[in-house]
Amino acid sequence: MTEFKINDLITLKFRYPSTEIYVNGKRFIQCKQLLLSIPKDDVEKYSDVESIDEAVEIYDHSVYKSQIYRDDGIPEMENDENYSLIEPEEEFWDHCSNLQVWSEYDYDTRLLKVNLAFPLLKQLAKAGDDLAQIKLKEEILKRLLSGSESVIEFLFVEGYQDYLSNEELLTGLLEAKEAETLMEIQQKLNIIFKFVPSINRGLEVAWKERKIVHKFSMSNKKVSGLDLFNCNLTELPDNTFKLKSIKVINIGRNPSFNMTLGYFKDLINKLKHLKILVFSQNQSENLSSGIEKLLKKN
């Protein structure tokens, strides 16, 4: 068995044909397929790509052995007829190199795939790594601000936003007045907002949290979407009208919310950027003809 020590807590072990990561002496995970080998001296070469995850998103390809490969396995940069799959032991040393770089760059999660970087960072924090304990919150906030939908979705689904207080999350992501407005709405409705790329995406909140946790989306540090589904509303909280950049609001399943044509007209006059309003399973007048006429005028 071959071993390589990254730092006091991380060790990689090679048991043919697998590479395993150990944290504080305990087996943590078996490494998946190597996506990108980053030599320490070549980190700056990838400065135009924000992260490994972004590289995959941008090119819609697999990143392998420092090159971009199409789905057919042909290198994007050159068609190398002599190409062969990397040997397991060589892959082990490339994993070692990647994690060495990651450690030396203070656990920068952009240098590893998100589904390895954050679980590993969390495990290091649990093991008492002082730097990991500091970096965990910093990296969560940094990656939420990155704009990468796959990363934001991962952090939402896997519960990493819970490592930030609600105030840290909102003030870290939004302009001060926007964060203050969401906190006012939360307090009034006794709910908590979490960040998603789009409130229309099918990202489910855990069943036990559905009465409390609601979603918001943002653009340029301003709220762009707000999920007020099943909040026992009779009308929108007044604070909502402070969110002048909002484009999408979901007020579905608020059976006491009586959506009249007059209320709808007032709403779209106050929220000039509103594009989508979901009010299914609410009380409402027969609005279709009235809304159609109103929208034509606008």
Quick one: pLDDT band at residue 84, thresholds 50, 70, 90?
A: very low
* Residues 68 and 77: beta-carbon distance below 8 Å: yes
pLDDT tens digits, residue range 101-152? Answer: 999 999 999 999 999 999 999 999 999 999 999 999 999 999 999 878 999 9
Quick one: pLDDT band at residue 239, thresholds 50, 70, 90?
A: very high
C-alpha 55/C-alpha 232 separation (Å) is: 43
Characterise 128 by phi-psi region: left (phi > 0), alpha (psi -120 to 50), beta (else): left
Residue 85 has a pLDDT of 62
C-alpha 231/C-alpha 251 separation (Å) is: 8
**Range 210-231 average pLDDT:** 93
Q: pTM (2 decimals)?
A: 0.81
- Residue 145: phi and psi, rounded to 5, are -85, -5
* Structure tokens, 250: 């979901």
> Quick one: CA torsion of 243, 272, 197, 250, rounded to 10 degrees?
80
Quick one: pLDDT band at residue 1, thresholds 50, 70, 90?
A: confident
pLDDT tens digits, residue range 3-18? Answer: 999 999 999 999 998 9
Quick one: pLDDT band at residue 51, thresholds 50, 70, 90?
A: confident
- Nearest of 87, 84, 64 to residue 76 by alpha carbon: 64
C-alpha 73/C-alpha 75 separation (Å) is: 6
Q: What residue spans of 105-173 are helical by DSSP H?
A: 114-126, 130-144, 149-157, 166-173
C-alpha 223/C-alpha 245 separation (Å) is: 6
